[in-house]
Structure 1
Amino acid sequence: MCLYIDIAMLAMSFLNDLYSSVNVVPFVAAVVGLLFLYWYQRPKNFPPGPRGIPLLGTIPFTGKYVERAAAKWSKHIYGPVMALRLGRDDVIVLNNLDSINKALVKQHTTFSGRPRNAFIEDVVKGGIVFVEGNFWKSQRKFGLLTLRGLGVGKKSMEEYVATEASYFNEAVRSENGKGFDISTLLHKAISNNICSVIFGKRYEYDDKEFEVILNRFVHVFDDPLSAAAARMVAFSPYFKKIPPFSFAQYKFLKNSAITAKFVKDIVQEHRDSYDQGNLRDFMDAFLKEQQAGGSEDFSDEQLLHYISELFIAGTETTSSTLNWALICLLHYPETQRNLRKEINRVIDAYGNVCMYHKPNMPYTNAFIQELMRYRTLAPLSVPHKTTESSELNGYFIPKGTTILPNLWAVHNDPDYWNEPDKFKPERFLDNDGQFVSSNHVIPFSVGPRHCLGEQLARTEIFIFLISLLQKFDILPDPDAKELPDINGGTGGLACVPNPYRVSAKEL
């Protein structure tokens, strides 16, 4: 205690001496000036962009949707390649397709790294999303080959997805046309598809443990407050120790631990019943690599994180896309009529939905492509990082710089799209009513690090949407006073619909 008092007295004596020997006002002004000079400095020929205020950067000025603010500043002030200070660090935001292709495709070896910060380090110890270098390459190659071997992109996976869609439709039918929360059912159904691939099993919709696990991690994306807190901590990791963000961080880590325990128990079950001559799923394929002992990349920890990432990403992304699809149907009922007319023409009300029907359904293809443009699920994609210094659009990009591809800006560029704020599937139909694919719609990103599960997601979206509309008319909840919000969303790391309810009238 005496030591603390002595230190305090020394500090007061120093300040008194300082005050008596110098004019305090110019001294303070000089210190503040130096701090601001430090805050505003950037490397030579670095991309232009707003710096905001010390410690927070532009976070107070971006609002709920960082991607929309960045797109606006890019269009009116800074250009397509701009620097945005989020928290204490500068990130480079790429706001048009040309700059994204130049970085992620033409210079993919330089722009394929992944940033690490205190928020990521707390959660990610391996997996596939935030790893890089040769380790990422080996895991990506293994993932692609294994998923292909398990039927992803093949008829066998289509059949499994169609079977799960029939279970989902039965659950919808059991609601008897009353208003209900369809998003919960979608999470369970879509999760069962990825569970069949990685765990070799599906879960009943009333399975309590399965429901608890889904609710745990879905809450991070679906709850507006949790999503906002996660965004803040991801951009400024030091906030994870400051309330209320610390509470959100604690909850996120707790939910991650519970999910990890769920996966770990399944891993142990697989170890106990493993048969090298009968590989059942992704997990068994990983155990085979592990037991071969040819690479340290296939560790116990890596298996846990790889499976957990596939489980979470394979559930949330596709189910949220389908939720946005249903909300669009409620706001634009004529699109539902057009879809059903095409379904009846190509498949009929009782036929099995298969991917080979897709090329003959131009309006359906247009609807899905417009859906992915209009409601960009991952507005800023997954962050990249430069692995060495480079040049982009004439600007110097130092090694280790975080890169954010602004997919939302590409999908809402008024210089390319006519009325981008409106949902118009017809924009992807030619004069003969044929579907026109667009390389300006990139929901799964581009380059070597584009989404690993793209094929499975496209299969699920098509089969679930069409099989549902074969059998039900999707209507607003009769007890709701207004339609679900179509312009907002949680505004977190993913743009997930706010909670909503529908009524499904059987046809």
Structure 2
Amino acid sequence: MLIVTCLSLFGLVLACLYYWYKRPRSFPPGPRGIPFLGVIPFLGKIPERVLFKWSKIYGPVMSLRIGRKDWISLNDYDSINQALAKQHTKFSGRPKNPVYAQFNQGCGVVRIDYGALWKSQRKFGLTTLRGFGVGKRSMEDRIVEEAAFMNEWVRSQNGKAFSPLDILHKAAASNIGSVVFGQRFDYDDEILNKLISLITGVYDNAAANFALQCMNLAPILMNIPPFSTLNHHIVNTFNTLLELLHNFIEQHKKTFQKNELRDFIDAFLKEMDEGNPGFTDDQLVQYVRDLFSAGTDTTATTLNWGLICLLHYPQIQTKLREEILKVVGLTSPVRLSHAADLHYTNAFIQELMRFRTIVPLSVFHKTNENAEINGFVIPKDTGIMVNLWAVHNDPDYWKEPDIFKPERFIDEKGNFVKSSHLVAFSVGPRHCLGEQLARMEVFLFLVSLVQNFEFLPDPDSGELPPLDCPVSGFIFTPSCYKIFANNV
């Protein structure tokens, strides 16, 4: 009897192991990890780098067992472009996001699944943002004006070291606020600072940022300490943010006039008033959250990494300023038309976006139907990780990728050269909705800062802020630091 029991248990273990290690037919190879958890314990605190390392063993299209599900990780430009651009109808889905599902009611634009609702909301967003000036002279004027306010704030520090992320958040938030809410905010505005604190309470909190990514991959963690505590913090933070945004919308409704649209909210209210499907109160508040959060934190974080690079490479900062003063001058405001002659500045910005990939694993995708890539068959509803960091750090394409070198985008004639392998905003129809606005802001804000100030390390710190980050998450955020600004 004992022998039979032992044999039965042994057979059960073998069956479980067979099930665990079994892959779908024609599925890509990849690590399976350990039963129940898969590769989660082995991804570390900077998973995009671990995935890239594994891809050198298993190939750029690689499978992963995460929890009880099979995922695909795309780790080079060709596979990402093949999936997201050339086969976008098959790879543009969004997997269920367990953390966001607690408060987003399946609404918004960034994380809703591919389908009729997403298509209508994406089209509305692009059309409306263009209508309120994105990509046009009117938006350029707003950003130039905001840059002047930002510079004045820096001057008001009177030679004291300050945290740059604070003012960068305020400048970016005030600018996106002019599009979404129809108003810019003073930097000491209580509501502006509340909005920023709620956004940064998740994405700039290293523990919460990292936990958010982990729980999206393994929902079971949401119920296990310390993740359960962080999940509670994330949900409360976003619910408070939504309540604040809801108040903005209610105020808009009281003064809404169908024939005098002031901003994005008014344009959405007009669609609601006309009874167009998909345009609801829940959709509006989540859409505004998506726009305001993404339009604030990613731009501010990119500029923040830019300032850190200026501190580490003073010779680059000097070269940038010399070019800017030669092309723009000391007192004239920078315009987008100056970009054609600011070759080294454009190279610096492109290298910055390569060197510090702000959203290293992008937003997760999902297959909408069975698909094939590199000879492998990917079943419908398979989660897809898009490793943008891997594209930007592939030594097969970038020589010495771990070195910050703007010159890699300058040709022998001294002209700026774009690279198709720079995919900071992802590719395909689900690339960042605010890419054009973000590019305008980064260029105009950065050039204006370098034109007006020499940035130096905090003399009381004794060391430079690190060029890397010990923990990665949805957004790759630098550690807190202070900076010193001298008037040029």
In structure 1, the residue matched to 2:203 is: 221
- The alignment partner of 1:475 has SS state of strand
Which of 433, 440, 445 in structure 1 is aligned with 2:421?
A: 440
Which of 243, 248, 255 in structure 1 is aligned with 2:230?
A: 248
Distance 1:269 1:480 in 2: 45
Q: Conserved in 1, the CA contact under 8 Å of 2:468 and 2:478? A: no
Distance 2:470 2:104 in 1: 26
Residue 215 (structure 1) shift: 1.3
- 2:94 corresponds to 1:114: yes
**Once the two structures are superposed, what CA deviation does each residue of 1:458-491 show, in whole Å capped at 9, x if it has no partner?**
0000111011111110110111121111122540
Q: Conserved in 2, the CA contact under 8 Å of 1:347 and 1:357? A: yes
| Identical counterparts, % of pairs | 51
Moved more, 495-504 or 112-121: 112-121
| Aligned partner letter, 1:66 | P
Residue 24 (structure 1) shift: 5.0
In structure 1, the residue matched to 2:129 is: 147
Q: Conserved in 2, the CA contact under 8 Å of 1:222 and 1:499? A: no
In structure 2, the residue matched to 1:386 is: 367
- 2:77 corresponds to 1:97: yes
- 2:337 corresponds to 1:318: no
In structure 1, the residue matched to 2:148 is: 166
Which of 203, 207, 217 in structure 2 is aligned with 1:235?
A: 217
**Once the two structures are superposed, what CA deviation does each residue of 1:34-59 show, in whole Å capped at 9, x if it has no partner?**
22222111101101100111222112
Work out which of the two has the higher radius of gyration on C-alpha atoms and give 1 or 2: 1
**Once the two structures are superposed, what CA deviation does each residue of 1:383-409 show, in whole Å capped at 9, x if it has no partner?**
111110011100010000111111111
- 2:336 corresponds to 1:347: no
In structure 2, the residue matched to 1:7 is: none
In structure 2, the residue matched to 1:259 is: 241
RMSD: 1.3
Unaligned runs of 5+ in 1: 1-19
Residue 27 (structure 1) shift: 3.9
Distance 1:273 1:124 in 2: 26
In structure 2, the residue matched to 1:8 is: none
Distance 2:33 2:346 in 1: 42
Residue 357 (structure 1) shift: 0.4
In structure 1, the residue matched to 2:175 is: 193
| Aligned partner letter, 1:364 | T
Q: Conserved in 1, the CA contact under 8 Å of 2:92 and 2:368? A: yes
Q: Conserved in 2, the CA contact under 8 Å of 1:80 and 1:94? A: yes
Distance 2:2 2:205 in 1: 56
- The alignment partner of 2:268 has SS state of helix
Moved more, 483-492 or 182-191: 483-492
Residue 217 (structure 1) shift: 2.0
**Once the two structures are superposed, what CA deviation does each residue of 1:403-439 show, in whole Å capped at 9, x if it has no partner?**
1111111100001111000000000001111001100
| Aligned partner letter, 2:158 | N
| Aligned partner letter, 2:94 | R
In structure 2, the residue matched to 1:123 is: 103
Distance 2:194 2:289 in 1: 15
- 2:163 corresponds to 1:181: yes
Residue 88 (structure 1) shift: 2.5
Unaligned runs of 5+ in 2: none
Q: Conserved in 1, the CA contact under 8 Å of 2:371 and 2:379? A: yes
* CA 1:41–1:433: 2 relative to 1, 3 Å: same
In structure 2, the residue matched to 1:296 is: 277
**Once the two structures are superposed, what CA deviation does each residue of 1:147-200 show, in whole Å capped at 9, x if it has no partner?**
000000001001101111111111111111221111011111101111110001
1:322-337 aligned at under 5 Å gives the runs: 322-337=303-318
Distance 2:317 2:241 in 1: 37
- The alignment partner of 1:404 has SS state of strand
Distance 2:100 2:197 in 1: 21
Moved more, 125-134 or 115-124: 115-124
In structure 1, the residue matched to 2:354 is: 373
| Aligned partner letter, 2:247 | D
Q: Conserved in 2, the CA contact under 8 Å of 1:111 and 1:384? A: yes
Which of 403, 408, 417 in structure 2 is aligned with 1:422?
A: 403
Distance 1:117 1:314 in 2: 21
- Normalising by structure 1, we get a TM-score of 0.94
Q: Conserved in 2, the CA contact under 8 Å of 1:379 and 1:494? A: yes
Residue 318 (structure 1) shift: 0.5
| Aligned partner letter, 1:98 | D
Distance 2:191 2:272 in 1: 28
- The alignment partner of 1:505 has SS state of strand
| Aligned partner letter, 1:109 | T
| Aligned partner letter, 2:237 | N
Q: Conserved in 1, the CA contact under 8 Å of 2:201 and 2:237? A: no
**Once the two structures are superposed, what CA deviation does each residue of 1:250-273 show, in whole Å capped at 9, x if it has no partner?**
010000111001100000000000
Residue 362 (structure 1) shift: 0.3
Paired residue total = 486
Distance 1:55 1:201 in 2: 50
Q: Conserved in 1, the CA contact under 8 Å of 2:93 and 2:368? A: yes
- Normalising by structure 2, we get a TM-score of 0.97
Distance 2:404 2:385 in 1: 25
Q: Conserved in 1, the CA contact under 8 Å of 2:173 and 2:292? A: yes
- 2:19 corresponds to 1:42: no
- The alignment partner of 2:143 has SS state of helix
- 2:47 corresponds to 1:66: yes
- The alignment partner of 1:503 has SS state of strand
Q: Conserved in 1, the CA contact under 8 Å of 2:45 and 2:470? A: no
Distance 1:123 1:321 in 2: 27
Q: Conserved in 2, the CA contact under 8 Å of 1:213 and 1:258? A: no
In structure 2, the residue matched to 1:5 is: none
- The alignment partner of 2:80 has SS state of helix
Which of 341, 361, 366 in structure 2 is aligned with 1:360?
A: 341
Which of 209, 212, 224 in structure 1 is aligned with 2:194?
A: 212
- The alignment partner of 2:90 has SS state of coil
- The alignment partner of 1:92 has SS state of strand
